[in-house]
Amino acid sequence: MTDLKNKVALITGSARGLGRAIAERFAGLGADIIINYSKDSFSANEAVVNIQALGVRVIAVQADISKPADIENLFAEAKKAFGKIDIVVANAGVELADVPVTDFTEEQFDRLFAINTKGTYFTIQCAAKNIEDNGRIINISSTSAAFPFPGFAVYGGSKTAPNYLVEVLAKEIGYRGVTVNSIVPYAVANAGIFTGMDTHTPELKWLSDMNPMKRMATVEDVSNAAVFFASNLSSFVSGQHLIVNGGGSQ
């Protein structure tokens, strides 16, 4: 079984949803955890309690990922608490669906690019500066960046640039044994805009119907990929984008 004991993992946007699922999965494999949240302190504290019950160390740090100064403080607090960082998952993001190119606003564009693009860029930059040798950097992308789809121009665009950054950084710090990869998931049930939603409703059932496996991705599907990239199993895999979409073309 994959073992993450004696590793320290920082996951942005991990108070709930996919980020929290990854944090709890890593904790279950023995990693100490830094939970990051922007506003939802209640969910962050709940995540901390759940992870403490797994017998590892955990802290929660508030940071707005759209602000580079907050990101720097997040990493500083993590190193202050644990002395090192071995794994970084750049997960924090916001979504925008079903907005045609002719309809998106400047406010929508600025918000998504501030968090999904700028925030991810500076998170990964901080990771490159602070991560231990032989560390793991993981970007959570989206199939919207791999398969253009109507209504997702802004969201998909904001998730595309970080994929390029992954490939560049893999070349720049590979000599340190650090791997840099992306996970590119299909729509994930009970995460992001689908958190708390019944995905079997007629309004959302089409997401399952159009997939070869006739379902949406789950947080477990993405967490499985995250464990692979966080562990020694992927020590010679870098600069890659793993599409987790059940074999679909979307």
User: What residues are labeled active site?
Assistant: 141-142, 155, 159
At residue 180, the 3 state secondary structure works out as strand
Q: For residue 67, how many other CB atoms are within 10 A of its CB? A: 16
Question: How far is the C-alpha of 32 from the C-alpha of 26, rounded, in Å?
Answer: 8
In the chain, DSSP finds a helix count (H) and a strand count (E) of 8, 7
Amino acid making up residue 248: G
Closest alpha carbon to 29 in 49, 55, 50: 55
Distance CA 111, CA 118 (A): 10
Each residue of 4-21: b (16+ CB within 10 Å) or e?
A: beebbbbbbbbbbbbbbb
